[in-house]
Structure 1
Amino acid sequence: MSVPLPLRGLLLALLLALSPPALAQRQASEPEIKAAILVNMLLFVEWPESGEEAEEALAVCYLSDSPVADALVRLDGKILRKRRLRVLRTDETGAVRCHALYVSQGDDAALLASPPGPGPLLAGDTPGDLQRGVMVNLELVAGRVVFDVDLRAARRAGLNVSSKALRLARTVLE
Protein backbone atom coordinates (compact mmCIF):
# COMPACT_ATOMS: atom_id res chain seq x y z
CA MET A 1 0.00 0.00 0.00
CA SER A 2 1.43 3.36 -1.00
CA VAL A 3 1.09 6.22 1.48
CA PRO A 4 0.03 9.51 -0.12
CA LEU A 5 2.68 12.23 0.01
CA PRO A 6 0.65 14.63 2.24
CA LEU A 7 0.18 11.89 4.86
CA ARG A 8 3.89 11.05 4.79
CA GLY A 9 4.64 14.70 5.39
CA LEU A 10 2.23 14.81 8.32
CA LEU A 11 3.83 11.76 9.92
CA LEU A 12 7.34 13.17 9.40
CA ALA A 13 6.29 16.50 10.93
CA LEU A 14 4.82 14.70 13.95
CA LEU A 15 7.98 12.66 14.40
CA LEU A 16 10.20 15.74 14.28
CA ALA A 17 7.94 17.69 16.63
CA LEU A 18 8.31 15.06 19.33
CA SER A 19 12.01 14.41 18.78
CA PRO A 20 14.66 16.24 20.78
CA PRO A 21 16.43 18.99 18.78
CA ALA A 22 19.58 16.89 18.44
CA LEU A 23 17.61 14.23 16.57
CA ALA A 24 16.46 16.76 13.99
CA GLN A 25 20.12 17.49 13.19
CA ARG A 26 21.11 13.87 12.60
CA GLN A 27 19.37 10.84 11.24
CA ALA A 28 17.35 9.11 13.93
CA SER A 29 18.17 5.50 14.76
CA GLU A 30 15.72 2.65 14.19
CA PRO A 31 14.75 2.46 17.91
CA GLU A 32 14.21 6.24 18.02
CA ILE A 33 11.95 6.11 14.97
CA LYS A 34 9.99 3.18 16.40
CA ALA A 35 9.56 5.00 19.73
CA ALA A 36 8.43 8.18 17.98
CA ILE A 37 5.89 6.29 15.86
CA LEU A 38 4.52 4.52 18.93
CA VAL A 39 4.17 7.80 20.82
CA ASN A 40 2.56 9.46 17.81
CA MET A 41 0.03 6.62 17.61
CA LEU A 42 -1.36 8.00 20.89
CA LEU A 43 -2.63 10.97 18.88
CA PHE A 44 -4.79 8.60 16.84
CA VAL A 45 -6.21 6.34 19.56
CA GLU A 46 -9.21 6.90 21.80
CA TRP A 47 -9.55 5.01 25.08
CA PRO A 48 -12.80 4.44 26.95
CA GLU A 49 -13.52 7.50 29.06
CA SER A 50 -12.69 7.21 32.73
CA GLY A 51 -13.67 10.72 33.83
CA GLU A 52 -10.10 11.57 34.91
CA GLU A 53 -8.39 11.51 31.54
CA ALA A 54 -8.37 15.25 30.87
CA GLU A 55 -5.81 15.77 33.64
CA GLU A 56 -4.13 12.39 33.66
CA ALA A 57 -0.75 11.89 32.00
CA LEU A 58 -0.50 9.64 28.97
CA ALA A 59 1.37 6.59 30.20
CA VAL A 60 3.55 4.58 27.84
CA CYS A 61 4.92 1.52 29.59
CA TYR A 62 7.46 -1.15 28.79
CA LEU A 63 8.19 -4.50 30.41
CA SER A 64 11.92 -4.98 29.87
CA ASP A 65 14.95 -3.02 28.77
CA SER A 66 15.56 -2.76 25.04
CA PRO A 67 16.81 -0.14 22.58
CA VAL A 68 13.21 0.93 21.84
CA ALA A 69 12.41 1.18 25.57
CA ASP A 70 15.52 3.36 26.01
CA ALA A 71 14.33 5.61 23.17
CA LEU A 72 10.88 5.82 24.78
CA VAL A 73 12.43 6.88 28.10
CA ARG A 74 14.12 9.80 26.31
CA LEU A 75 10.64 11.02 25.25
CA ASP A 76 9.39 11.08 28.86
CA GLY A 77 7.91 14.45 29.81
CA LYS A 78 6.92 15.54 26.29
CA ILE A 79 3.52 17.18 25.93
CA LEU A 80 1.05 15.25 23.79
CA ARG A 81 -2.65 16.04 23.48
CA LYS A 82 -2.09 18.77 26.09
CA ARG A 83 -1.04 16.03 28.51
CA ARG A 84 2.38 15.05 29.74
CA LEU A 85 3.84 11.82 28.42
CA ARG A 86 5.02 9.49 31.18
CA VAL A 87 7.23 6.57 30.22
CA LEU A 88 7.35 3.88 32.89
CA ARG A 89 8.75 0.42 33.36
CA THR A 90 6.00 -1.88 34.60
CA ASP A 91 5.08 -5.51 35.07
CA GLU A 92 1.97 -7.43 34.09
CA THR A 93 -0.03 -6.16 37.08
CA GLY A 94 0.70 -2.49 36.33
CA ALA A 95 0.06 -2.71 32.60
CA VAL A 96 -3.67 -2.00 32.98
CA ARG A 97 -2.83 1.56 34.10
CA CYS A 98 -0.95 2.26 30.84
CA HIS A 99 -2.33 3.85 27.70
CA ALA A 100 0.24 1.98 25.61
CA LEU A 101 2.44 -1.00 26.45
CA TYR A 102 5.56 -1.74 24.43
CA VAL A 103 6.57 -5.40 24.42
CA SER A 104 9.96 -6.47 23.15
CA GLN A 105 10.92 -9.81 21.67
CA GLY A 106 11.81 -11.44 24.98
CA ASP A 107 8.66 -10.41 26.85
CA ASP A 108 6.19 -13.08 27.96
CA ALA A 109 3.73 -13.90 25.18
CA ALA A 110 1.07 -14.74 27.80
CA LEU A 111 0.82 -11.03 28.61
CA LEU A 112 -0.21 -10.32 25.05
CA ALA A 113 -3.45 -12.25 25.17
CA SER A 114 -5.66 -9.20 25.37
CA PRO A 115 -8.67 -9.82 27.56
CA PRO A 116 -12.02 -8.39 26.54
CA GLY A 117 -12.56 -4.92 27.91
CA PRO A 118 -10.45 -1.79 28.33
CA GLY A 119 -6.73 -2.19 28.06
CA PRO A 120 -3.58 -0.53 26.81
CA LEU A 121 -2.58 -0.24 23.18
CA LEU A 122 -0.15 -3.16 22.83
CA ALA A 123 2.81 -2.41 20.57
CA GLY A 124 5.80 -4.48 19.56
CA ASP A 125 8.50 -4.68 16.94
CA THR A 126 9.04 -8.37 16.33
CA PRO A 127 7.90 -10.25 13.21
CA GLY A 128 4.84 -12.29 14.12
CA ASP A 129 3.78 -10.04 17.00
CA LEU A 130 0.35 -9.44 15.47
CA GLN A 131 -0.28 -13.16 15.85
CA ARG A 132 0.78 -12.92 19.53
CA GLY A 133 -1.81 -10.23 20.34
CA VAL A 134 0.06 -7.00 19.61
CA MET A 135 -2.18 -4.29 18.15
CA VAL A 136 0.55 -2.21 16.49
CA ASN A 137 3.68 -3.91 15.21
CA LEU A 138 6.66 -1.89 13.98
CA GLU A 139 9.12 -3.46 11.55
CA LEU A 140 12.11 -2.39 9.51
CA VAL A 141 11.49 -3.12 5.82
CA ALA A 142 13.91 -2.01 3.10
CA GLY A 143 15.49 0.54 5.43
CA ARG A 144 12.13 2.07 6.50
CA VAL A 145 10.13 1.56 9.66
CA VAL A 146 6.58 0.49 8.80
CA PHE A 147 3.73 -0.57 11.04
CA ASP A 148 0.83 -2.98 10.91
CA VAL A 149 -2.37 -2.72 12.96
CA ASP A 150 -4.60 -5.48 14.30
CA LEU A 151 -7.81 -3.50 14.53
CA ARG A 152 -9.70 -6.51 15.90
CA ALA A 153 -7.43 -6.73 18.95
CA ALA A 154 -7.67 -2.97 19.50
CA ARG A 155 -11.45 -3.08 19.41
CA ARG A 156 -11.52 -6.02 21.86
CA ALA A 157 -9.54 -3.81 24.24
CA GLY A 158 -12.09 -1.00 23.84
CA LEU A 159 -9.79 1.20 21.76
CA ASN A 160 -10.77 3.24 18.73
CA VAL A 161 -7.98 3.79 16.21
CA SER A 162 -8.43 6.72 13.86
CA SER A 163 -8.74 6.06 10.16
CA LYS A 164 -5.92 8.60 9.69
CA ALA A 165 -3.48 6.22 11.38
CA LEU A 166 -4.93 3.21 9.60
CA ARG A 167 -4.25 4.84 6.22
CA LEU A 168 -0.56 5.07 7.16
CA ALA A 169 -0.35 1.40 8.17
CA ARG A 170 1.20 -1.13 5.82
CA THR A 171 -1.42 -3.72 6.81
CA VAL A 172 -4.66 -3.50 8.81
CA LEU A 173 -6.28 -6.68 10.08
CA GLU A 174 -10.03 -6.21 10.42
Structure 2
Amino acid sequence: MKSIQTNISAYMTLVLFVVASLNANALTTKERNAKEDRIKGLVIFSMIKYIQWPEASEELVIGILSDNQEMINLFNEIASDRSSSNKKIVIKSFSTIGEATKHSDILFIPNESSAEFEAYSSNGQKVLIITEKEGLCKRGSAINLITIDGKLRFEINKKVVEKSALKISSKLTEMGIEV
Protein backbone atom coordinates (compact mmCIF):
# COMPACT_ATOMS: atom_id res chain seq x y z
CA MET A 1 0.00 0.00 0.00
CA LYS A 2 2.80 2.40 0.94
CA SER A 3 4.56 1.62 -2.35
CA ILE A 4 1.40 2.46 -4.29
CA GLN A 5 1.11 5.82 -2.46
CA THR A 6 4.77 6.57 -3.16
CA ASN A 7 4.30 5.77 -6.84
CA ILE A 8 1.18 7.93 -7.00
CA SER A 9 3.08 10.85 -5.40
CA ALA A 10 5.93 10.47 -7.87
CA TYR A 11 3.45 10.26 -10.75
CA MET A 12 1.63 13.42 -9.60
CA THR A 13 4.92 15.32 -9.42
CA LEU A 14 5.78 14.19 -12.94
CA VAL A 15 2.35 15.34 -14.13
CA LEU A 16 3.11 18.80 -12.74
CA PHE A 17 6.31 18.91 -14.77
CA VAL A 18 4.46 17.88 -17.93
CA VAL A 19 1.87 20.60 -17.32
CA ALA A 20 4.73 23.06 -16.80
CA SER A 21 6.02 22.34 -20.27
CA LEU A 22 2.80 23.34 -22.07
CA ASN A 23 3.17 26.08 -24.65
CA ALA A 24 1.59 29.46 -23.77
CA ASN A 25 1.94 31.37 -27.07
CA ALA A 26 -1.58 32.80 -26.95
CA LEU A 27 -1.02 34.50 -23.60
CA THR A 28 0.19 38.05 -23.03
CA THR A 29 3.59 38.49 -21.37
CA LYS A 30 1.98 39.34 -18.02
CA GLU A 31 -0.37 36.34 -18.24
CA ARG A 32 2.51 34.10 -19.30
CA ASN A 33 4.66 35.29 -16.37
CA ALA A 34 1.77 34.70 -13.95
CA LYS A 35 1.22 31.22 -15.40
CA GLU A 36 4.95 30.43 -15.19
CA ASP A 37 5.07 31.70 -11.59
CA ARG A 38 2.09 29.49 -10.71
CA ILE A 39 3.76 26.45 -12.25
CA LYS A 40 7.04 27.18 -10.45
CA GLY A 41 5.12 27.64 -7.20
CA LEU A 42 3.32 24.32 -7.66
CA VAL A 43 6.61 22.58 -8.42
CA ILE A 44 8.24 24.07 -5.30
CA PHE A 45 5.27 23.06 -3.14
CA SER A 46 5.35 19.55 -4.65
CA MET A 47 9.01 19.20 -3.65
CA ILE A 48 8.20 19.79 0.04
CA LYS A 49 7.04 16.23 0.63
CA TYR A 50 10.42 14.93 -0.60
CA ILE A 51 12.49 17.00 1.84
CA GLN A 52 13.21 16.37 5.49
CA TRP A 53 14.51 19.12 7.77
CA PRO A 54 16.65 18.21 10.79
CA GLU A 55 14.32 20.02 13.22
CA ALA A 56 10.60 19.44 13.07
CA SER A 57 8.33 22.42 13.64
CA GLU A 58 4.64 23.18 13.29
CA GLU A 59 5.17 25.52 10.37
CA LEU A 60 7.22 25.59 7.20
CA VAL A 61 8.38 29.04 6.10
CA ILE A 62 8.85 29.63 2.39
CA GLY A 63 10.73 32.85 1.85
CA ILE A 64 10.70 34.75 -1.41
CA LEU A 65 13.57 37.14 -2.14
CA SER A 66 11.32 39.62 -3.91
CA ASP A 67 8.75 42.31 -3.33
CA ASN A 68 6.66 41.11 -6.29
CA GLN A 69 3.21 41.21 -4.67
CA GLU A 70 1.59 39.12 -7.39
CA MET A 71 4.08 36.29 -6.80
CA ILE A 72 3.68 36.54 -3.03
CA ASN A 73 -0.13 36.43 -3.35
CA LEU A 74 0.15 33.43 -5.66
CA PHE A 75 2.39 31.54 -3.22
CA ASN A 76 0.00 32.42 -0.37
CA GLU A 77 -2.90 31.04 -2.40
CA ILE A 78 -1.05 27.78 -3.04
CA ALA A 79 0.02 27.61 0.63
CA SER A 80 -3.57 27.94 1.86
CA ASP A 81 -4.50 24.94 -0.30
CA ARG A 82 -1.47 22.89 0.78
CA SER A 83 -1.24 23.57 4.53
CA SER A 84 -2.30 20.60 6.57
CA SER A 85 -3.24 20.17 10.20
CA ASN A 86 0.28 18.86 10.86
CA LYS A 87 2.26 21.68 9.27
CA LYS A 88 1.20 25.18 8.35
CA ILE A 89 2.95 26.73 5.34
CA VAL A 90 3.82 30.41 5.79
CA ILE A 91 4.98 32.69 2.96
CA LYS A 92 7.28 35.61 3.76
CA SER A 93 8.83 38.22 1.51
CA PHE A 94 12.41 39.36 2.13
CA SER A 95 14.53 42.14 0.69
CA THR A 96 17.93 40.72 1.73
CA ILE A 97 19.28 37.21 1.39
CA GLY A 98 20.91 37.32 4.82
CA GLU A 99 17.58 37.96 6.54
CA ALA A 100 15.80 35.43 4.32
CA THR A 101 18.21 32.59 5.12
CA LYS A 102 17.78 33.19 8.86
CA HIS A 103 13.99 33.04 8.79
CA SER A 104 13.10 30.54 6.04
CA ASP A 105 13.06 26.79 5.59
CA ILE A 106 12.87 27.18 1.81
CA LEU A 107 14.07 30.30 0.02
CA PHE A 108 12.95 30.94 -3.53
CA ILE A 109 15.14 33.43 -5.38
CA PRO A 110 13.45 34.55 -8.59
CA ASN A 111 15.56 35.46 -11.59
CA GLU A 112 15.31 39.20 -10.95
CA SER A 113 16.97 38.73 -7.52
CA SER A 114 19.73 36.40 -8.76
CA ALA A 115 22.50 39.01 -8.44
CA GLU A 116 22.13 39.04 -4.66
CA PHE A 117 22.47 35.25 -4.56
CA GLU A 118 25.57 35.34 -6.76
CA ALA A 119 27.24 37.63 -4.19
CA TYR A 120 26.06 35.47 -1.26
CA SER A 121 28.30 33.10 0.66
CA SER A 122 26.49 30.29 2.47
CA ASN A 123 27.39 29.59 6.06
CA GLY A 124 25.87 26.12 6.15
CA GLN A 125 22.37 27.46 6.71
CA LYS A 126 19.60 24.90 7.12
CA VAL A 127 17.58 26.49 4.35
CA LEU A 128 16.82 24.97 0.97
CA ILE A 129 17.68 27.60 -1.63
CA ILE A 130 15.81 27.34 -4.92
CA THR A 131 16.84 29.57 -7.82
CA GLU A 132 15.85 29.93 -11.45
CA LYS A 133 18.84 31.27 -13.34
CA GLU A 134 21.13 29.16 -15.48
CA GLY A 135 24.33 28.17 -13.65
CA LEU A 136 23.26 28.98 -10.09
CA CYS A 137 23.10 25.35 -9.01
CA LYS A 138 26.83 25.11 -9.68
CA ARG A 139 27.33 28.30 -7.63
CA GLY A 140 25.65 27.01 -4.47
CA SER A 141 21.91 26.75 -4.99
CA ALA A 142 20.42 23.46 -3.82
CA ILE A 143 17.80 23.37 -6.58
CA ASN A 144 17.67 25.42 -9.75
CA LEU A 145 14.58 25.60 -11.96
CA ILE A 146 15.58 25.72 -15.63
CA THR A 147 13.91 25.50 -19.01
CA ILE A 148 15.22 22.93 -21.48
CA ASP A 149 13.62 22.71 -24.92
CA GLY A 150 10.66 24.74 -23.64
CA LYS A 151 10.09 22.43 -20.66
CA LEU A 152 10.54 23.23 -16.98
CA ARG A 153 13.18 21.01 -15.37
CA PHE A 154 15.27 21.27 -12.24
CA GLU A 155 18.87 20.72 -11.26
CA ILE A 156 19.91 19.42 -7.84
CA ASN A 157 23.25 20.08 -6.18
CA LYS A 158 23.49 17.14 -3.75
CA LYS A 159 26.69 18.48 -2.13
CA VAL A 160 24.93 21.70 -1.14
CA VAL A 161 21.97 19.73 0.21
CA GLU A 162 24.25 17.47 2.28
CA LYS A 163 26.12 20.48 3.75
CA SER A 164 22.82 21.98 4.86
CA ALA A 165 21.86 18.81 6.81
CA LEU A 166 18.66 18.46 4.77
CA LYS A 167 17.62 15.08 3.45
CA ILE A 168 16.12 14.84 -0.01
CA SER A 169 14.30 11.71 -1.10
CA SER A 170 15.90 9.71 -3.87
CA LYS A 171 12.59 10.05 -5.73
CA LEU A 172 13.20 13.80 -6.08
CA THR A 173 16.83 13.39 -7.11
CA GLU A 174 15.79 10.87 -9.76
CA MET A 175 13.44 13.45 -11.31
CA GLY A 176 16.09 16.18 -11.34
CA ILE A 177 19.37 16.73 -13.12
CA GLU A 178 22.28 16.19 -10.75
CA VAL A 179 24.93 18.91 -10.86
TM-score normalised per structure 2:
0.72
Partner of 1:74: 77
Partner of 2:104: 98
Partner of 2:28: none
Would the aligned equivalents of 1:112 and 1:133 in 2 still touch at CA under 8 Å?
Answer: no
Partner of 1:23: none
SS at match of 1:115: coil
Structure 1 portions without partners, runs of 5+: 16-26
Question: CA offsets, 1:22-80, max 9 Å, x none?
Answer: xxxxx99222111111111111111112xx51xx2111001113575553233232325
Match of 1:120 among 127, 136, 148: 127
Question: Percent of counterpart pairs with the same letter?
Answer: 19
Structure number with the higher helix fraction is 2
Would the aligned equivalents of 1:109 and 1:132 in 2 still touch at CA under 8 Å?
Answer: no
1:106 shift after superposition: 3.3
Q: Distance in 2 between matches of 1:11 and 1:111?
A: 32
Match of 1:150 among 146, 157, 162: 157
* CA RMSD, Structure 1 to Structure 2 (Å): 2.9
- The aligned amino acid for 2:148 is V
Cα 1:110–1:127, aligned 2, differ >3 Å: closer, same or farther? closer
Q: Distance in 1 between matches of 2:85 and 2:167?
A: 16
1:113 shift after superposition: 2.6
- The aligned amino acid for 1:114 is S
TM-score normalised per structure 1:
0.73
Would the aligned equivalents of 1:57 and 1:86 in 2 still touch at CA under 8 Å?
Answer: yes
Cα 1:45–1:153, aligned 2, differ >3 Å: closer, same or farther? same
Structure 2 portions without partners, runs of 5+: 1-6, 18-31
SS at match of 1:119: coil
Would the aligned equivalents of 2:63 and 2:107 in 1 still touch at CA under 8 Å?
Answer: yes
SS at match of 1:129: coil
Q: Distance in 2 between matches of 1:40 and 1:172?
A: 18
Cα 1:140–1:80, aligned 2, differ >3 Å: closer, same or farther? farther
How many pairs does the alignment contain?
A: 152
